[in-house]
Amino acid sequence: MDALDRTDRYCIIGAGSSGITAAKNLKQLGIAFDVYEREDDVGGNWYYGKPCSSICRSTHLISSKPLTEYTDFSMPHDWPDYPGHEQVLAYLRAYADQFGLRPDIRFSTAVERVEPVAGGTCWDVTVAPPDGASETLRYRGLIICNGHNWYPKFPEYPGEFTGQTLHSADYKTPDVLEGKRVLVVGAGNSGCDIAAESATHARRTFLSTRRGYYYMPKFFCTSAMPPAAIAGSALHSPELPSRASSRSRTIWPDSGRCSNNSTRGRASARWSRTRTRSARKTPRFSS
């Protein structure tokens, strides 16, 4: 069967946070595209309870609001510094609405296969609509935004463990830990979140790590300023602790001491002035 000619446009796979911003940017540049999303709405990982989502009922952002929001669409002022997953989902959907993306998204339509054709200048994309047979469409290019956190990766260990094993992607609520002796393996954000929740629900909780980690607080001292707002790109540095503290001295010029209320007040004022300036230019989602 011949592929339907869509070579005037690009194909975007996935309508999570990456797919919708890819779509918005193409739209603003006047480049045509179609988005395919196998779930029935926008959200990806933040669409709690769907197969595409690995979050649990208590998940909040680990990245702060100013570091997470799109540069051209702010989260509401009155939201917490680390919003909960329902808020993140509402925000992503509001972004899709703000930039008029929904008409270009085919929901409940999974991409089954992609194949380069015409010497690699085009791509044949086979999709499975909810109500019929697969169809193949030819595109001038692909933008793959299918995420990766929805696919659990299990470690292999010698021997046999006869107790219950659960991957973090399948962990939703702490009732499954009630009264149990729980070993959490791994100290990424999933391991830490689940170990913390397990500590107040399971009979005993153990956390196993195979190396050491730096742990950063979500707040410095009593200030509500998230460290990401202070440290900025230093958060991505392997030398995080020393670089973050040297950046914080730039913000608190007098002493760098968190206990000094007056310098902390100045730092907050400067930060909120910056936010006010950007808020004037940027559409904001009001919930």
Ligand X SMILES: NC(=O)c1ccc[n+]([C@@H]2O[C@H](COP(=O)([O-])OP(=O)(O)OC[C@H]3O[C@@H](n4cnc5c(N)ncnc54)[C@H](OP(=O)(O)O)[C@@H]3O)[C@@H](O)[C@H]2O)c1
Ligand Y SMILES: Cc1cc2nc3c(=O)[nH]c(=O)nc-3n(C[C@H](O)[C@H](O)[C@H](O)COP(=O)(O)OP(=O)(O)OC[C@H]3O[C@@H](n4cnc5c(N)ncnc54)[C@H](O)[C@@H]3O)c2cc1C
Positions in the binding site for ligand X (CB under 6 A): 59-62, 149, 155, 168, 185-191, 193, 209-211
**How long a stretch of residues is the chain?**
287
C-beta neighbour count of 91 within 10 angstroms: 24
Tokens for 198, please give them: 């397990």
Q: What is the C-alpha separation between 65 and 88, in angstroms, rounded?
A: 10
Binding at 188: pick from ligand X, ligand Y, none (beta carbon under 5-8 Å per type): ligand X
Q: How far is the CB of 139 from ligand Y (least distance, A)?
A: 14
Task: Specify the residue, 128 or 176, whose C-beta has the smaller distance to ligand X.
Answer: 176
Binding at 227: pick from ligand Y, ligand X, none (beta carbon under 5-8 Å per type): none
Tokens for 40, please give them: 């029935």
- Site residues (CB under 6 A) for ligand Y, limited to 86-105: none
Q: How far is the CB of 37 from ligand Y (least distance, A)?
A: 5
Binding at 185: pick from ligand Y, ligand X, none (beta carbon under 5-8 Å per type): ligand X
The answer to whether the CB of 287 falls within 8 A of the CB of 87 is yes
Task: Specify the residue, 252 or 285, whose C-beta has the smaller distance to ligand Y.
Answer: 285
Q: How far is the CB of 59 from ligand Y (least distance, A)?
A: 5
Q: Which residues contact 9 (CB under 8 A, 6 or more apart)?
A: 31, 32, 33, 34, 139, 140
For ligand Y, what does the binding mask look like between residues 148 and 187, x meaning CB under 6 A? -xx-------------------------------------
Q: Which residues contact 220 (CB under 8 A, 6 or more apart)?
A: 227, 230, 248, 258
